[in-house]
Amino acid sequence: MKSQLQDPLGVTSSWNNSINLCQWTGVTCGHRHQRVIGLDLRHQSIGGFLSPFVGNLSFLRSINLANNSFRAEIPHEVGNLFRLQNLTLTNNYFSGKIPTNLSRCSNLVKFEASNNKLAGESPAEIGNLLKFQLLNIAENHLRGQLPASIGNLSALQEINVNGNRLGGRIPSTRSHVRNLISFNVGLNQFSGMFPPINNISSLEYIFIHRNIYHGSLPLDIGVNLPNLRFFIISGNNLTGSLQDSLSNATNLQKLDINRNLFSGKVSINFGGLQNLSWLNLGKNNLGTRTANDLDFITLLTNCTKLEVLVLDSNRFGAVLPFSLANLSTTMTGIAFGNNQISGFIPDGIANLVNLNALGVEFNQLAVTILKSLQMLFLHENVLQGTIPSFLGNLTMLTQRLLEVNDLLGNIPPSIGNCKNLILLTTRKNKPSGTMPRQLPRIITLSVLLNLSDNLLSGHFPAEVGKLKNLVSLDISSNMFSGEIPTTLGCTSLEYLCMQDNSFTGSIPSTLSSLKSITELDLSRNNLSGHIPQYLENLSFLSFLNLSYNHFESKSLFVWPFVDEIKGI
């Protein structure tokens, strides 16, 4: 066996005739006969092949090779190990099919081979393993259907086939599988109605996310599954209402129905689900656009462990209830964007001291904001008035979206206090005045700075040169004047949009340092002088627009990289 292993750490250096077999690293022997009963080489960076000679170790009860780099097929000789109880091959590179004669290991309790490269179909013979409790073959390349013989595994407690290419319908397990605790078939291509597991009262964890299930949930699902803790059914085509009977699943911790077609009123009595920490109802058709659509939020105030509430992209109407401010202080994220919710976000939401993400975009809301926020999404609402100076107090913010509102006045200089910002957009508002010099001093800005379609004027501050890591800068459709700052040599820039302003002078030579630039738009300004020759050397440039300016002569350059040129 040793000759077929690659052992960079020298773990098997003790495997030689000068040392008793039972003292070899990773080897365990029985007390009575001194025969090898355990082989444990997990987390040892070992590669190579598992030798067929492993089948000669007839007293083996446990093999654990997890988190190594074993490759090739699982040897069929493993089927000779009739005493084997535990076979763990997780996180390796085993390929080929699961050996059919694994079914000869009649004492096998656990088979874990997740995150390998196993292919083919799951062998029907696996249904002969009547002591089988755990099957984990997630994250492989298995195809076909699950064999109907799985329904014979009366001792089965956990099945995990997540992240394969399995399809068809789940075989019925009602008659024999009565001890199942965890059922994970997510990230496959299973289809049909909700799988036939509704009567297995022992179930605590159900994951059927990202398959092709359709139809409605069983009416009595919460009554039949009283021990349910995780119910993850997102990314299917499930329809109908969210069954009231889930109110009976009082142990529920995570409920995720995101990206389905559920509709109607949410009538679950969340008041009894005191262990609930994660509730994701997003991207469905829930709600009736009536005044009591959000009454269930009041019931959620009893969920003292709740951390995440997602209601986005539904049909919720109504006014946001003031009980939102009474949610648990454990809340870290709230999202109810893209609905038809109106009113005010209650001032008391400031009591949610751990809230770091708030998404209310595409609604009709006015807002009060929290100091602990890291992400603030307020775009596409009806926010009016000036941009409040207290935004500068939100020093933990990393992302801020205020676009498409009706905000007026100056951008407050206090925004410079937000030293963690990586993204800021105020697009399509009405802020006026000059751009505060404190804004481009936020050197963490790296993803996007979008101030387009506003009423900003004056000179664009030279401090913009400090944004060395900025990828996208859009200040188009404002009233900026003066020359383009010579400091604008932000070497990470890929998108620079300055069109539709009143910039004058020539294109500065420092733009030659924009080696990553792909789109450059300086059109509709009052620029003059010559078009610089260095532009043709910007090898990533694919879009260039210099039209509607006052350049002295047309370019005779060759543009080998640019796909679209305007104004030259």
Residue pLDDT, tens place only, 19-34: 999 999 999 999 888 8
Taking all residues of the chain, what is their mean pLDDT, rounded to a whole number? 87
Measured CA to CA, the distance from residue 193 to residue 172 in angstroms comes to: 12
Average pLDDT over residues 431-444: 81
Element (H, E) at 221: helix 221-224
Q: Where are the beta strands (DSSP E) in 313-398?
A: 333-335, 342-344, 357-359, 364-366, 375-377, 384-386
C-alpha to C-alpha distance for 210 and 232, rounded to whole angstroms:
10
* pLDDT category of residue 408 using cuts at 50, 70 and 90: very low
Q: Is the pLDDT of residue 387 over 80?
A: no
pLDDT at 381: 44
Q: Find the mean pLDDT for residues 373-383.
A: 47
Distance CA 446, CA 470 (A): 4
* Rounded distance between C-alpha atoms, residue 408 and residue 384, angstroms: 7
pLDDT at 385 over 50: no
Give the confidence band of 426 by pLDDT, cuts at 50, 70, 90.
confident
Would the pLDDT of 400 be above 50? no
Q: What is the pLDDT of residues 97-115, one digit of tens each?
A: 999 999 999 999 999 999 9
Map residue 505 onto helix, strand or coil: strand
Beta carbons of 92 and 65 less than 8 angstroms apart: yes
For residue 367, pLDDT over 70 is answered with no
Range 543-552 average pLDDT: 90
Tens of pLDDT, residue by residue over 225-257, are: 999 999 999 999 999 999 999 999 999 999 999
In three state form, how does the secondary structure of 21-36 look? HHHCCCEEECCCCCCE
Q: Rounded distance, CA 164 to CA 158, Å?
A: 17
Confidence band of 41 (pLDDT split at 50, 70, 90): very high
pTM of the predicted model, to two decimals? 0.73
Q: What b/e readout covers 352-367, taking b as 16+ CB neighbours within 10 angstroms?
A: beebbbbbbbbbbbee
**E strands present in 417-566:** 423-425, 430-434, 448-450, 455-459, 472-474, 479-483, 495-497, 502-505, 519-521, 526-529, 543-545, 550-551, 564-566
Average of per-residue pLDDT across 30-55: 94
What are the residues whose beta carbons fall under 8 Å from the beta carbon of 32, sequence distance 6 or more? none
Alpha-carbon distance of 205 to 537, in angstroms, equals 58
Percent of the chain residues past pLDDT 70, beyond the cut? 87
Distance, in Å, from the CA atom of 409 to the CA atom of 444, rounded to the nearest integer, reads 25
Compute the chain's Rg from CA coordinates: 31
Task: Report which of 214, 216, 205 is spatially closest to residue 183, judged by C-alpha positions.
Answer: 205
Mean pLDDT of 205-213: 97
What pLDDT, in 10s, does the model give residues 302-348?
Answer: 999 999 999 999 999 888 888 998 999 999 888 888 888 887 777 77
Q: What is the pLDDT of residue 71?
A: 95
Q: How far apart are CA 118 and CA 97, in angstroms?
A: 6
- Spatial separation of the C-alpha atoms in residues 65 and 111, rounded to whole Å: 12
Label residue 270 exposed, middle or buried (CB < 10 Å: 0-12, 13-18, 19+): buried
398-403+419-568, CATH topology level: 3.80.10
Q: Residue 222 gets which letter from DSSP? A: H
